[in-house]
Structure 1
Amino acid sequence: MPDPSRIARLRITLDDTEPTVWRTVEVPLSASLKLLHEVIQAAMPFQDYHLFQFQEGSARYAIPHPEWPDVNTRSAKTTKLGALVDRGTTAFAYTYDFGDNWQHTITVEELGPADPTVAYPRFLDGARRAPPEDVGGTMGFEEFLEAVTKPRHRERKRMLEWYGGPFDPDELDRETIEAGMAKLARRRAIGQAAFAKSRSQL
């Protein structure tokens, strides 16, 4: 059973982006991979519109579909981050949106005790804005950036209208990211309190 008083510092790197889009977060080892998915969604931020999976060697973790069971896919809801770390995993993959195919590398940078004064998960740092949803994968993102960062580009107006406003690729929307992370931390704290209460009534 993963120790709830220990945390992992993770670096999330969006593959095939140059300059690199990356984030650093701290997540309890007791967190499920489903929660880690939600952490990544908040950290980028994405909108959680699409399917996802984690890959560690030949093992795949996702939300199994009840009508199409896959014996090769393990449940991200019941697998803890600590289960991967305890068997020596230092890096694994995360894919979001199988159409746009956003592939990420998750690197375990450090393990240590949780700070009792800190609400986890928490966002530490990062660089650059993540791609918009449904932009068309790496190639579509490159074309989008080409259009929105050049004032005289013929597609600029159309792309900005599609996106819904200005897009600065160098801007890290820290306020939105931290708000999303705080929401996850509050939900986790409520769940822990409810679990502790139920245990005390046994």
Structure 2
Amino acid sequence: MIYQFKVTLKDVGMPVWRMLQVDSETTFAELHYILMAAFDWMGYSLYEFDLRKSGGKRLNGTRIGPEEGTPMIESDPLLLMLRQRLSNPEDYDLPRYLVDEKEKLSDWFKQEKDRAIYIYDFRDDWEHEIVLEKILEPDPDAQYPLCTKAKNDAPFEGARRDLMSGQLDLTNPNGKEITEDINEIYRFDGWKDEFMNRDDFM
């Protein structure tokens, strides 16, 4: 199945969003790169996904991130034991930290209006609200991921101070051009390699 998400960059003073269509079997690690391209981030910074609603149920403290984070199995043996012993652990809102390469979108986005927050750069704290708007049949003539609509520019890397001081104008009336530029990235062979790998400079 294909998930249609509306991804909105929060707290930037104007509407900045992207409408993205993504295969439901995409991992959260792959979604990270899809969002990098959609919002013109470079990948210098840490990130995580904070799940807020799954299967229509609100979540609190369910986080997914890169493997360099601390999985729940290491951070809290008590919570791990509880999850192993509960017959339906998904019914209990237990905090956990899961590895993005192992979690698929379909594991968490179950129905329309399920949502998550993608946080990029823990210093500038760019928060993107991800809302599942539609679940679609794949179009045999389409290539995924696919950006179908876009609104305004995203700020450049490390620009929170410039944005807050009013030195940065994100207005861009040409949403069609933004959409085309994003899709051009997605169609480029090896496009994920264009983003920084933090292991290269840590």
**TM exceeds 0.5?**
yes
CA distance in 1, matches of 2:30, 2:142: 17
CA distance in 2, matches of 1:25, 1:169: 20
Instruction: Name which one, 1 or 2, has greater alpha-carbon Rg.
Output: 1
Q: Structure 1 residues 18-27 or 86-95, which shifts more? A: 86-95
Contact 2:48 2:118 in 1 (8 A): yes
Once the two structures are TM-superposed, the CA of residue 123 in structure 1 deviates from its matched residue by 0.7
Residue 178 in structure 1 maps to residue 180 in structure 2: no
Once the two structures are TM-superposed, the CA of residue 73 in structure 1 deviates from its matched residue by 1.6
Cα shift readout 1:108-133 (whole Å, capped 9, x = no counterpart): 00001111111101111111110110
Once the two structures are TM-superposed, the CA of residue 64 in structure 1 deviates from its matched residue by 2.0
Q: Matched residue pairs, number? A: 158
Match of 2:63 among 60, 64, 68: 60
Residues 87/111 of structure 1: CA separation in 2 closer, same or farther (3 Å cut): closer
For 1:191, the equivalent position in structure 2 comes to none
CA distance in 2, matches of 1:78, 1:125: 29
Residues 19/116 of structure 1: CA separation in 2 closer, same or farther (3 Å cut): same
Residues 148/98 of structure 1: CA separation in 2 closer, same or farther (3 Å cut): closer
Once the two structures are TM-superposed, the CA of residue 52 in structure 1 deviates from its matched residue by 0.8
CA distance in 2, matches of 1:19, 1:87: 28
Secondary structure at the counterpart of residue 74 of structure 1: strand
Residue 141 in structure 1 maps to residue 163 in structure 2: yes
For 2:31, the equivalent position in structure 1 comes to 36
**What TM-score, normalized to structure 2?**
0.70
Match of 1:122 among 146, 170, 176: 146
**What TM-score, normalized to structure 1?**
0.70
Contact 1:64 1:73 in 2 (8 A): no
Residue 45 in structure 1 maps to residue 40 in structure 2: yes
Amino acid in structure 2 at the alignment position of 1:142: M
Amino acid in structure 1 at the alignment position of 2:154: A
For 1:194, the equivalent position in structure 2 comes to none
CA distance in 2, matches of 1:96, 1:60: 13
Cα RMSD, aligned residues only: 2.4
Secondary structure at the counterpart of residue 95 of structure 1: strand
CA distance in 2, matches of 1:121, 1:147: 33
Identity value in percent: 23
Cα shift readout 1:50-76 (whole Å, capped 9, x = no counterpart): 1110011321000121xx634232011
Amino acid in structure 1 at the alignment position of 2:167: A
* Aligned counterparts, 1:1-202, within 5 A: 6-56=1-51, 57=59, 58-65=61-68, 69-71=70-72, 72-86=96-110, 90-135=114-159, 137=160, 139-143=161-165, 146-147=166-167, 169-170=171-172, 172=175, 173-183=178-188
Q: 5+ residue gaps in structure 2?
A: 52-58, 73-95, 193-202
